Chain A
Amino acid sequence: MAEAPGGALGGPAPEPTDATADTARGPGRVLVAIYGVFALAAGARAAVQLAVQFDEAPVAYLLSALAAVVYVVATIGLARGGRSGRRTALIACSVELAGVLVVGTLSLVDRAAFPDATVWSGYGQGYGFIPLALPVLGLLWLRHQSEVADQAPGQDDGPATS
């Protein structure tokens, strides 16, 4: 078998030029992947909770559903990019950060209200604290992307078409 240039690990990657803003390129693509996984997992879990066992803990399950919606919206916003995508993602990440802090605190103070853990219980303890780190990384990335976009006006009219 002919060896591809650079071997089985793939050819050398070009360095990102960073001239145009795109929330779904480079490290942003990893962020979108993590958000996508959480949207999928939280969405599947919330759908089951609401459909099958809603009466057991309505508050916790509604929060699970809210978390799932926030993850879906953030994933879409980051993946689409552009001015509107960044604004959507900014709102979603802010709600997410507020949610994980509020629910995390409440779940420690009042355990009785959260008999069944949500994604955000204990500041995302059950998920390796990723739910706490994710909105912070998301907001930092969005701030960086906004700065890039401000330096390159005219290339930021909407979602990437690639």
Chain B
Amino acid sequence: MSTPLVAAATVVAVVLIVLGVLSTVLRRRTGIAHLAAAGLLELLLVAQGVVAVVGIAGGHRPVELATFVAYLGSVVLLPVAGVLWARSEPTRWAGTVLAVAAFAVAVMLWRLLDLWEVTRG
């Protein structure tokens, strides 16, 4: 895990939360801005996933390795699931769906960082 990557992903997630809530408040559907933010978030999460897998392959062993891997897989899927679930929603609530997904990503990322830093060594 890389703390700068987690921080960057958190910033993008917060941007996505704001965009999502904004479009709900303004009674709009989701647009290209939401897609761009979600895409960037997914990119950062995949990069983070690669960093973590390389670290594990290189001998880094979090105490709760199984939980870590399960959460890592979940967090990478979340923006994709959020976008799919939001795109098929014609009402203004699509934005809130994205905000929920982005919020969950942000929370899970910091939980992942905690899990990563607790090792037996």
Contact = CB atoms under 8 A, between A and B. Distances in A.
Contacts, number: 100
Given A4-B31, A9-B22, A33 B101 contact: yes
A153 interface: no
B116 interface: no
Given A25-B89, A29-B93, A30-B93, A12 B27 contact: yes
Contact of A44 (B74, B81, B91, B95): B74
A15 B90 CA distance: 9
Given A40-B74, A48-B64, A48-B67, A29 B28 contact: no
Contacts of A48: 64, 66-67, 70
Interface of B: 19, 22-23, 26-34, 64, 66-67, 70-71, 73-74, 77-78, 81-82, 85-86, 88-97, 100-101, 104, 108
Interface of A: 4, 6-16, 25-27, 29-30, 32-34, 36-37, 40-41, 44-45, 47-48, 51-52, 162
